[in-house]
Each structure stands twice: as C-alpha cells, then as structure tokens.
Amino acid sequence: MGNAQQQTTDEALRARIDPERVPAHVAIIMDGNGRWAKRHGEMRVVGHTNGVRSVRETLVGATEIGVKYLTLYAFSTENWNRPRAEVDALMDLLVNTLMSELDSLHENGVRLNAIGDLESLPGSCRATLAEAIRQTAHNDRITLTLALSYSARWELVNMVKRIATDVRDGRVDVEAIDDALVSANLTTAGMPDPELLIRTSGEQRISNFLLWQIAYAELWFSPVLWPDFRREHLYQAVLDYQGRERRFGLTSEQVGPA
C-alpha cells in the first residue's frame, strides 16, 4: 500500500473510533520479531530493529486517539536466557533508540516510564533510561511504559514481600489488605489497569505479563508479526474493543446498552 493510500485507511479507521470510549491504558505483548526476520532471510536482531518502527507508529497512533497509557513488553525476565549476542543487541537497540528518539518523545508530550527489575539491566542502559525518564517526567499527553526485565510473578512476589514487611513492622493491619493496597504495591502503582491487551504474531498467551492488572482487560490477538504492526492494526484493535460488551461479572441487563 502506498503512503497516501495507507493514510486514507488509517483516517477511515480512526474516524470510526468513539473518542468517548477509547481505552485509557493499552498494553502490548510485541511478538514475532524473530519470525519476521526469518521470513525475510535476516538475522533475528534485524527483526528487533524493524520492531522499533512499529513502536513509533503505535505510540503516535495511540497518542492521536487519546490513549493515556501505553505499556509495551520489551524484555521479559525469561528473555535473559536468549543467546548472549541477541540480549546484547536488544540492550544496545534500547539505548540507541532512546537516545535517538528522546527529543521527539519530549516534543510530543510523552512521559517515559519503565517497570521491571531495572537493577539487572546493564549500566549504560540504566543510565540512558534514567536520563530519558528524568527529562520527560513533566509530560502528560501519554505515558509510555517499557516493561524491561519484567515478569508478573517477579512483581507479585515483590508485592507480597513489601506488604508482609509492612505488616511485620506494624505499618499495615492484615485486615486492611485489599485490592487497592495490592495495586499500590505493584510496579504500575498509580496507573489505571489496561482495558485492552494486544498480542501480535498469532500466539494466544499472556506470558507472565501484568497478571494482576489484566483481570478485566479485553484481549486482542493479531496474526501480524510485530515489525509489520502499524497504526491501522492498533485502530482495528480499539474498534473491536469498542464493539464488545464489558460486563465485569454483571449481566447484560445490568450493564445496559453498549
């Protein structure tokens, strides 16, 4: 599809989105970079490099329709077990992308955030990330959260440890432990839960991502490999989400007309 034609497709889809019911928080499991590379006869890392364009497109698209939080699963705890060269390449890609995109993020009102075991990242990566987070801290158009060395079980274990410590030290009464206290002790404290979770590449798994937070999220699985993911796919996901009835355990009659 040519550029002009693509723009028409994007705009037509966008026009159908109800601005009143855009999910405030969209989370994405970006998958399929390796398969994309293989299909194109390239090394896996080329798939990751091409995935950066999809990150940019998705961020711009999300911002345009008024999404306030975009959370991307960029590197899981389990990803450390990949071949050393691929891990190094991913970390380099992250640092280089952050450095080259920082001005653009800032100009577009993006606040950068990161969740995960950030201590385990290489020093250069931590430093670049910390600087980008610091520079964009006052932006409020959209919050882009990168999940890095993240896994939901790691996060849940830490939450339990924190609350247990507070109970032991007399700061929290056991009876006071509720949903809100659990949420406040997760890495996503202060963010609304994602209403929409997207996974690309045809896999239909959650893979240890935001397990507590997606309790009521609508799931949208796309066969598109992440490096091919574009604004139109995000818009299709949002349109599909808007066509669904979210009941939160209630009956159709109780939640009323969609």
Minimum Å distance from CB 196 to ligand FPP?
A: 19
Interface with ligand FPP includes 72 (CB under 6 A)? yes
Q: Strands 196-199 and 25-29: what pairing? A: parallel
Q: 245 is written with which tokens?
A: 């009835």
Interface with ligand FPP includes 48 (CB under 6 A)? yes
Q: Is the separation of the CB atoms in 115 and 145 below 8 Å?
A: yes
Q: Is the separation of the CB atoms in 78 and 31 below 8 Å?
A: no
Question: What residue number has its CB nearest to ligand FPP?
Answer: 34
Q: Verify whether residue 228 is a known catalytic residue.
A: no
The stretch among 28-36, 162-170, 174-182, 233-241 that binds ligand FPP (CB under 6 A) is 28-36
Interface with ligand FPP includes 74 (CB under 6 A)? yes
The stretch among 13-21, 33-41, 160-168, 204-212 that binds ligand FPP (CB under 6 A) is 33-41
Q: Kindly name the residue from 10, 31, 50, 185 that is annotated as catalytic.
A: 31
Instruction: Return the number of other C-beta atoms located less than 10 Å from residue 97's C-beta.
Output: 19
- Which residues 6+ apart lie within 8 Å of 196 measured at CB? 23, 25, 26, 27, 217, 218, 220, 237, 238, 241
| Strands of the sheet with 196-199, listed across from one edge | 110-115, 142-150, 69-76, 25-29, 196-199, 218-221
Interface with ligand FPP includes 35 (CB under 6 A)? yes
Choose, by CB under 6 A, the member of 10, 14, 27, 51 that binds ligand FPP: 51
- CA dist 115 and 191 (Å) reads 12
Q: Kindly name the residue from 3, 33, 50, 79 that is annotated as catalytic.
A: 79
Interface with ligand FPP includes 52 (CB under 6 A)? yes
Which residues, numbered 102-161, are part of the site for ligand FPP (CB under 6 A)? 146
The stretch among 91-99, 186-194, 211-219, 238-246 that binds ligand FPP (CB under 6 A) is 91-99
Q: Verify whether residue 79 is a known catalytic residue.
A: yes
Q: 146: closest CA among 47, 51, 35?
A: 51
Residue 145: what are its φ and ψ, rounded to 5°?
-105, 125
The stretch among 46-54, 176-184, 215-223, 241-249 that binds ligand FPP (CB under 6 A) is 46-54
Minimum Å distance from CB 47 to ligand FPP?
A: 6
Minimum Å distance from CB 74 to ligand FPP?
A: 4
- CA dist 192 and 22 (Å) reads 13
Binding site for ligand FPP (CB under 6 A): 30-35, 48, 51-52, 55, 72, 74, 79, 93-94, 97, 146, 201, 226
Residue positions annotated with a catalytic role: 31, 79
